[in-house]
Structure formats: C-alpha cells, structure tokens
Structure 1
Amino acid sequence: MTWQTVETPTDARPPDPLTVRAQGIPARHAFVEHAHAWGQVVYAVAGVLTVSADRQNLVISPEQAVWLPVGARHRVGSLLGAEFRSLWIAASASRDLPAAACVFRVSPLLRELIVEAAALERGAAVEASPDGYAGRVTALILDQLRRAEPLPGALAWPRGGPIATLCEAVYADPADARGLDAWARELGLSARTLSRRFEAELGLSFRGWRQRLRLFKAIELMGGGLDVTRTALELGYGSTSAFVYAFRTVLGSTPRAYMRGRRGRGGP
C-alpha cells in the first residue's frame, strides 16, 4: 500500500514564543518533507509516529518525542494513525535546546502541559501576557524541554522500498516468526542482499531490529494493561521466561520492574 500526503497548514504563523497545533494523522499518511524557521517538538498523545530528520528515520511512541532545531528538514507520518501534537518554538526561545535533532522521553507533566496548551490554543480567549495563565504554561513547557531525558536507543525505521515493506509487516504482526531467508523470497531478493541492505539502512541486523521492535511493542501493550504472559504470547515469544530474558538483556530490568518504575515516575 502506498502512503498518502497530509496537507501542510496554510495558516501557519511564527510562534511567539510557542504555538501548539493539534491534528489527526490517518493511517499511512505523512506530511511532505519541509523545514521551519523555528524549532519544533514532534509528539503524539495517541498512536505511533514515524519521523525522518537529519538522516535519521525513527518510530516514536506516546512516551517519546522528537526535537527538531531551527531549519531541520523533516517528514512526519503515521503507519496506523495518530493524534499528532506539534509544538512550534521561536528561535529566540530555543537557543539552549539541542543543536541537532534528538529523541527524548516525555514526562507525565510535560504530556499534560502539551494537552493543556493545545486546549488553550483552541480557546476563544487566551491571555497574551507572559504573566497570565497561558504564559505560565508556556514557561513550564520550555522548562520541561530543557530537563528532558535523551533516548539514544530509539527504534530505527526505513525510508521506503522493500525494507519498509518488511518492517511494516513485522510491526503489524510482531509474532511473525519468519526469518531473513523467508522474507528474502517474499521480497524477491537474495538473503545476502536483504541482510546487507537492512543493516545499511537501520544499523542493525534483522534479528536485532525485530527484538527491539518487540520490546517497543511490549511497553505499549503492558502500558495498556496487558500482563507479562499475554504480552509474551502477543509478541511471538515461545515462553514468558524467553520474553523476560530478552527484555532484561536490552532494558536492564524485568518487565514488571520496568513498568513499576514507570508508574513510580508518574507514568500510566
């Protein structure tokens, strides 16, 4: 299936110092690649986004966001659909934010501030004064962005072609156990060619990427209330212990301990 284009806003105005835009992105839709004269935070309150920027192509969940500095060319879309929130931040207000695009963890407080700022944007009367309520929300958002925790291990995502076809299929069904040889036959490539192209595009072997994807999905499923055993089955692990071992190897703790830690930080 091909991707469709989401029209870019025609009423865009420079932020002063912050503008929040709320928009739904349908499944398999994306904005065309573009850049801004201001910084941007790419975030979804629900669903998963694909973000291309600075020669990176990533997938982010609702507990992650991408920072895009002034002038960074980028493309944002969604494989399965998402509720998109875009924070535009004036260059003067983003000077002490990172100089390069990066992924960071969204704290529960920052999430609620983004939701509140979007509601204020929709309101009929928003206080213009920086000392007013909207100004205080803006100041807190900027403070939270300065304190945000970078995430170096974001899930890489291909830009297109047969590697994207493969990744989209595995994302839709992470329990699919087919190996590289079977996928190579499906895509009309040799296993060696597919392996080489996969690692060149994503920096990981297919096996390593699929493990990371499964753990990405595991956090999403457990955050939605699924227990460890059901999550392991949904992701195609042969046993709960195999899932726990893989989770601990990559993330440094058991699934239950990881989720307790999230709740302790105020997560869902």
Structure 2
Amino acid sequence: MTWETIQAPPGLCPPRPITVRAQSIPARHSFPEHAHRWHQMVYAISGVLTVAVEGHSFVISPEQAVWLPTGLRHRAGSLLGAEFRSLWIADEAGRGLPASPTVFGVTPLLKALIVEATAIEGEEDGDGYAGRVTGLILDQLRRAKALPGALPWPRGGSGLSALCEALYADPADPRGPEAWGRHLGMSERTLTRRFEGELGMSLRSWRRRLRLFKAIELMGGGLDVTRTALELGYGSTSAFVYAFRTEMGCSPQAYMRGRGVDRLEDRRSQAMA
C-alpha cells in the first residue's frame, strides 16, 4: 500500500518562543521531507510515528520523542495513525539543547506539560501562566535522557518496508530470512545483507526489539502480560517476561507500574476532551 502526503497548514508563524502543533495523522500518511528555521521536537501523545532524518529512519512511541536542531531535513509520518503534538522552539530558547538529532525518553511530566501547552495555545498570557508552562517544558527538555537507540525502520525502495510493516502488524509471524527472501524474490543471503546494511542489525535482533516496542504499546493499551505474550508470538508468558527483563532490567508488571502516573494523565485528558 502507498503512503499519502500531508501538507502543513498555511499561515504558520515562527515560534515565540514555543509553538505547539496539534494534528491527527491518518494511517499511512506523512509530511514531505523539509527543514525549519527553528528547532523541533517530534512527538505523538498516542500512536507511533515514523521519522526519517540524516539517512536513517526509525519509529517512536509516545514514550519517546526526537529532537531536531534548526535546519535539519527530515520527514515524519505514521503507519497506523497518530496524534501529532510537535513543538517548534526558537533558536534562542533552545540554547543548551543537543546540536544533533537525538531520540530521548518522554517523562509523564513532560507529556502532561505538552498536553497543557496544547490546550492553552493561542490564548492571551495575562498572568504569565503560559510562560511558566513554556519554561517548565524547556527545563524538561534539558533534563531529558538520550536513548541508546530507537526501532530502526527502512526508508523504502528495497522491499524491506513490506517486511517490516508485516511484522509490525503481526509480531508473531514466524518467518525467518529464508522464507522472507522467497516472499520478496531474493536469496536469504541478499536479504540478510540488505537488512543489516539498511537497518544496522540482523532480522532476528530487529524482531526482538520490535517485540519489546510492541509489548509496551500493547500493555499500555490495557492488555495483560499473558495476552501480550501470545500476541507477540512467545511460547509462554515466562519466556516473554524473561526477554522483557533482559532488555529492560525489570519485569513487564514493574515497568507498567512505573507508568501509572502517565496512564492517569491519559484518563484525565480523555475526560476533558
């Protein structure tokens, strides 16, 4: 299936010092490659974004965001749809923030501040409240911790996009490089070389990272650990818990308990919508 292009709304002004962009991105839609004369934080409060920058492409969840310095060409979209909450940040306000593209974790506080900034965007700031929210957002960005890696995603044109999209839709798909090579009309060796060359890891390693990524997404949507393990194709709940603990340093239950404040904020936002 092809992707459709989204055009940015007309009449957008430079940030002074922050502008919050709120927009729903339909499934398989993306903005064309472009650059800004200001910094940008690419983020979605729900759904998953695909971000391409500097020859690399990857997906991020609502627990992650991407920092893009001024002038960096990039493209963003969503495979399944997302609620886009992008921040434009003036150069002077972004002093001290990374000079290169960075993936970082989004804390429950930062997410709540973005939700609040969206709600008050465009209002008069007679009592300085909006300015205080802006200051807290900038403080949170300066304290944000860079993540060692996101889930890589193919840029397209090599047949790998179809493979990754199929596995994203069905992480339990058991096919390996040989079967996928036949499906895509290439040898196992060719598929392995192209996959590692474009995504920087083997199909097996990528599938393991995908399952972790999807586990957080599924449990965040309300699935219990047993159902999540089955959805991801694990042979048992204990095998899933072991794999999750190995990657994340804690059990799935402990990880989700740590996100309890985040889920509470989601419910508050939904109640106010």
> If the length of structure 1 is used for normalisation, what is the TM-score?
0.94
Q: Secondary structure at the match of 1:77?
A: strand
Q: Which one is further off, 47-56 or 21-30?
A: 47-56
Structure 1 position 10, deviation (Å)? 2.0
* Distance in 1, Cα, partners of 2:64 & 2:186: 34
**CA separation in 1, counterparts of 2:256 and 2:22?**
29
AA in 2 matched with 1:71: G
Q: How does 1:102-251 map to 2 (within 5 A)?
A: 102-121=102-121, 125-127=123-125, 132-161=128-157, 162-251=159-248
Q: Match for 1:32: what amino acid? A: P
CA distance in 2, matches of 1:133, 1:214: 41
Distance 2:45 2:257 in 1: 21
Contact 2:56 2:155 in 1 (8 A): no
Give the Cα separation in 2 of the matches to 1:45 and 1:260: 19
What are the residue-to-residue correspondences of 1:85-96 with 2, within 5 Å?
Answer: 85-96=85-96
Q: Deviations over 1:89-139 (max 9, x none)?
A: 000111210000111111111111111111112x5x321x6x611111111
Q: Which residue of 2 aligns with 1:255?
A: 252
Q: Which runs of 5+ in 1 are unaligned?
A: none
Q: CA RMSD in A?
A: 1.3
Partner of 1:267: 262
Partner Cα distance (1:261, 1:113) in 2: 18
> Secondary structure at 2:51's aligned position in 1?
strand
The letter for the 1-side match of 2:215 is A
Q: What is the identity percentage for the equivalent residue pairs of Structure 1 and Structure 2?
A: 71
Tell me the distance in 1 between the aligned counterparts of 2:231 and 2:216: 12
Which residue number in structure 2 is paired with residue 19 of structure 1?
Answer: 19
Counterpart AA for 1:248: R
Matched letter for residue 100 of structure 2: A
* TM value normalised by structure 2: 0.93
